[in-house]
Amino acid sequence: MIRPIYDQAWSKTFYEWLQPRANIEVDDYTTIGFLDEWDNIVGVILFCGYDGNNIYVHIASDNPKHVQRRFIKLMFDYVFNQAKCQRVTATCTAENKRSMKLIEGVGFKKEGYLKNFLKKHDKLYDIALYGMQKEDCRWVISR
């Protein structure tokens, strides 16, 4: 049974697990991690860049089966009901078709590309930029 962990004592561990998978480096973030029955990390949702109106979200899992509907609901509940954002932004490398399918599958709309935005190991990557407005989110009921 996979369970969500909100405890900020885990936050650094979750960040270190997610960071190489999501190609991000941030200092100020909030996480929801997901552990299996043996306390292995199977997924992490990281929120960063909160400005009162928007927040960036990054999701990583080594197995797409671990990205369950109930966890997507938790993500959007945090964004729209707890953080009180009007929109949420997601990004991924333009060549990461698996991530693009997930992002689009939960309802994000593609807003464009950022050409040569990410440099990793001396290689430049284009980034696909996605957004979702609160009124367009089918995952949560506004409080």
User: How far apart are the C-alpha atoms of 57 and 38, rounded to whole Å?
Assistant: 26
Can you give the pLDDT at residue 42? 95
Q: Say whether pLDDT at 53 is over 70.
A: yes
* 49 phi/psi in degrees, rounded to 5: 70, 25
Can you give the pLDDT at residue 142? 62
Can you give the pLDDT at residue 87? 98
pLDDT tens-digit series, residues 35-47: 999 999 999 999 9
* 88 phi/psi in degrees, rounded to 5: -135, 145
**Which residue, 71, 103, 70, is CA-closest to 89?**
103
User: How far apart are the C-alpha atoms of 81 and 108, rounded to whole Å?
Assistant: 17
User: How far apart are the C-alpha atoms of 65 and 81, rounded to whole Å?
Assistant: 26
